Amino acid sequence: MTLPITAAVRSPFAEADGVLARWHPVDLAAVVMDAALAAAGIDANTVDLVVAGCTEPVGAQGANAAHACALAAGWPPSIPGLVVDAETASGFAALVVAHDALAAGRARTAVVVGLNSASVVQPGAGALGRIYGRPWGPSVEQRYAQSGGLLPPITAADRLALARGITQAQQDEWGLRSLDRRVAPPAALVTVGARPGESVAVQRDTPISDDAHRQIPVDELEPIFDPNGTTTAASFAPAADGVAVIVLSTAAAEPLGVLESASLGAGDPNDPLGGLDIVRGAAPLPASGWMIAEPSASTTLLALQELKIDKSLVNQHGGTIAVGDAAAAEDLRLIIDGLHAAEAGAQGAALRCGGGAAGISHWRRS
């Protein structure tokens, strides 16, 4: 079922410990959510559901952050909130939940939030804080023990890229392409005040109206995970801060675009392409207009190789590596930036894969 996208906006994104480091993620989300409703021309009293995708729903992002975001925005406390954690595809998972709620008639307006503050809640926080036990459990560990154990997604992608002949030079070239081309559509961005980390020379509340691009030392491109690997600082997206919001509503007029489908896939957690087969069958693959998340160049180039997609059609306005990976917020950014950069009637797709999870959405600009 196709659904109207009535608004799609986001905060600027910045690498962890940068200009957004001291924002509480709930407060930053509330600012962007308010801006999204204003862009959609929708009153908060008509919102039926808030769904937040969050890869680390603990600490400042825990305790039903979706409902907390609505409360922080001053919206009615009766609006239900739901947090979805689907690991690397959490933003897509939130979109799927909202899509299904509207398609089933359980809601007319849903606000989908991609939430990530790596400065406040470090990546892996849910797995590293083992007061309540190890994640996955011994049965899963035993299942993968004979194959060398569970690998970090970047390491798994690095090794598969090496096996498939994707060189370090090709990955570095892709990463630098991401940096050189990264342009955020102005209409997609909500200006927010800086709340910088200690190492950032920016005064608090300085207006931040664009992404904070990384500075990559191109003369020191040595492997950063495995001495015999291929991933370098130029081909890896470090953790980033950001919030992205999409409003789906069957009650509003003149939508920005249409969400044609949203799907999830899953597979072996050590397979960087796990889940792609399920996702690939969800809808026809578009000939152009691809936006693909880049946790690493190896992951992206493996997906392009697997799906036989022409590189020139992908991330034409730059990608994740240029700014850093804001996890669930990055999932939604792919759609938001793609929609705002597209001409009327253009179709596109947003994709993320890695760590045994994959998500894809198809959209069309009105």
Using the CB atoms, write b or e for 232-259: b if 16+ within 10 Å.
Answer: bbbbbbbbbbbbbbbbbbbebeebbbbb
Show the DSSP H helices in 129-248 as ranges. 138-145, 153-163, 168-181
Q: Rg of the Cα trace of the chain?
A: 19
Q: Give the model's pLDDT for residue 350.
A: 95
Domain regions of the chain by residue span: 3-122+166-359
Distance CA(212)–CA(322), nearest Å, equals 9
- Give residue 163's pLDDT: 95
**What is the predicted pLDDT for the residue at 253?**
77
Strand partners, 239: 325
State the CATH architecture for 3-122+166-359: 3-Layer(aba) Sandwich (3.40)
DSSP structure string for 320-337:
GGGT-B-THHHHHHHHHH
pLDDT at residue 343, as a whole number = 93
Closest CA to 195 of 10, 9, 14: 14
- Measured between alpha carbons, how far is 94 from 98 in angstroms, rounded to an integer? 6
| Residue 90 in tokens | 């959490």
Dist. CA 287–CA 289, nearest whole Å = 7
Q: How many residues belong to the chain?
A: 366
Q: What is the pLDDT along the chain (366 residues), one digit of tens a residue?
A: 899 999 999 999 999 999 999 999 999 999 999 999 999 999 999 999 999 999 999 999 999 999 999 999 999 999 999 999 998 899 999 999 999 999 999 999 999 999 999 999 988 887 766 677 878 888 998 999 988 898 889 999 999 999 999 999 999 999 999 999 999 999 999 999 999 999 899 999 999 999 999 988 877 789 888 888 899 999 999 999 999 999 999 987 789 999 999 999 999 999 999 888 877 776 666 666 899 999 999 999 999 999 888 899 999 999 999 999 999 999 999 999 999 999 999 999 999 999 889 999 999 999
Which residues, at least 6 apart from 197, have a Cβ–Cβ distance to it below 8 Å? 17, 18, 21, 22, 119
What CA–CA distance (Å, rounded) separates 323 from 318? 10
